[in-house]
Chain A
Amino acid sequence: EAGVAQSPRYKIIEKRQSVAFWCNPISGHATLYWYQQILGQGPKLLIQFQNNGVVDDSQLPKDRFSAERLKGVDSTLKIQPAKLEDSAVYLCASSQGGSSGVREQYFGPGTRLTVT
């Protein structure tokens, strides 16, 4: 079974530029998550999708971050314009859907973003 795929693996941009990350979850997984992991910290959830609908985006800085999950499969996360404090690893995860319980999340390798 293929795991969660993310691209690119690394990205360096200057502040005020825009950047986009792509994620393809495990086949059949209805739920997709984007996390931000700042160096030395644990991952922080940015947004959670159930199929193509948003479940939670309370910690997404909506003035500069946006995310979509077209057709309920792969997803893109965009930052525009980027700030220095956006330097982090952006992790995508997926899990099986369901209305109850807590399901195991499977993580991709992440995209390391450096904003200069």
Chain B
Amino acid sequence: AQSVTQPDIHITVSEGASLELRCNYSYGATPYLFWYVQSPGQGLQLLLKYFSGDTLVQGIKGFEAEFKRSQSSFNLRKPSVHWSDAAEYFCAVGLNNAGNMLTFGGGTRLMVKP
């Protein structure tokens, strides 16, 4: 069965600093990859997705992610973090032959220091 690992449960960065959130997946084939953000009391909002093609994908709110097949990773990055980016971030994996099911990682909670 596929699995998704987000090794960092909590991350704290200063406003204006760069950010990288890690995501590793375990599956033999190339999955469909997603990053979602969840603000307190809110549902999940899609930041970006990778299906195929260019391995560097751009998303909303200035986020980007890079798919590295050799490392089974799909890390999320932002060059300059804003205080409003404080939230929980989830990486998710979907498989073409799994009926659009998504498997989520455990999440990384981002705190932003002023």
Complex interface residues of chain A between 29 and 62 (CB less than 8 A to chain B): 31, 40-45, 48, 50, 55-56
Also in contact, A105 and B102, with CB within 8 A (given A41-B107, A42-B90, A42-B107) = yes
Instruction: Tell me whether A102 is interfacial, beta carbon within 8 Å.
Output: yes
Interface string of B81-114 (1 = CB under 8 A from A): 0000000001010111001111011110000000
- Residues on B with C-beta less than 8 A from A105 are 46, 100, 102
- Residues on A with C-beta less than 8 A from B41 are 109, 112
Q: Which residue of B lies closest to A106 (CB)?
A: B46
Also in contact, A43 and B90, with CB within 8 A (given A48-B101, A107-B45, A110-B43) = yes
Complex A-B: 24 CB contacts under 8 Å? A41-B107, A42-B90, A42-B92, A42-B104, A42-B105, A42-B107, A45-B102, A55-B99, A91-B43, A98-B100, A101-B32, A101-B51, A101-B96, A102-B51, A102-B96, A104-B34, A104-B46, A106-B46, A107-B36, A107-B43, A107-B44, A108-B43, A109-B42, A110-B43
Q: Which residues on B are within 8 Å of A, measured CB to CB? A: 4, 32, 34, 36, 41-46, 49, 51, 90, 92, 94-96, 99-102, 104-107
Cα–Cα distance between A56 and B101 once the two chains are bound (Å): 9
Q: Which residue of B lies closest to A4 (CB)?
A: B43
Task: Tell me if B43 and A102 are in contact (CB < 8 A).
Answer: no
Task: Tell me if A41 and B106 are in contact (CB < 8 A).
Answer: yes
